[in-house]
Amino acid sequence: MKCPYCEYLESKVIDTRPVDDGSSIRRRRECLKCERRFTTYEQVESVPLVVIKKDGKRQVYNRQKMMNGILRACEKTPVSFTEIEKAVIEIETALNNKLDREVSSTEIGELVMDKLKAMNDIAYVRFASVYREFKDVNTFLDELNSMLHHRERD
């Protein structure tokens, strides 16, 4: 670490402690040349998650977009905001645990649908109707029949 006073490149760490929220570390250092002390902060560099849209365009992942879609699907259902937040956190954890920093919007949509299917049937069908772009009533009925068939097997 370069000394801000004499620009010498070597220093020793005198004290280390986490900053309030634990996302960074504060270090007190002493320059090995001029012996003056200074403070540095370290934090993890995060590489953003990039979403590949259906049309091939790429954009930085936006948590609020996913949250809004799930909230809209769960409107007027007994699903609590806490359950929705938990689902979003679980989806984000799954995405962040992937080695690849690019993910398709299709993969995110499928993860959301899996969570909604476990949370509430109505929310699942609402989301699926928009996500899968149901063109007519028959497509909608096919999805409902698929849900009923899976429920009967379980």
Say if CB 48 and CB 26 are below 8 A apart: no
Alpha helices in the chain (DSSP H): 63-74, 81-96, 105-119, 121-131, 137-153
Q: How far apart are CA 36 and CA 12, in angstroms?
A: 11
Helix or strand or coil: residue 50? strand
- What's the predicted TM-score (pTM) here? 0.64
Number of residues that this document lists for the chain: 154
Tokens 């979003």 correspond to what residue? 88
Q: Is the pLDDT of residue 102 over 90?
A: yes
Indicate the pairing of strand 50-52 with strand 37-43.
unpaired
pLDDT digits (tens, 9 = 90+) for 130-152: 877 766 677 777 777 777 777 67
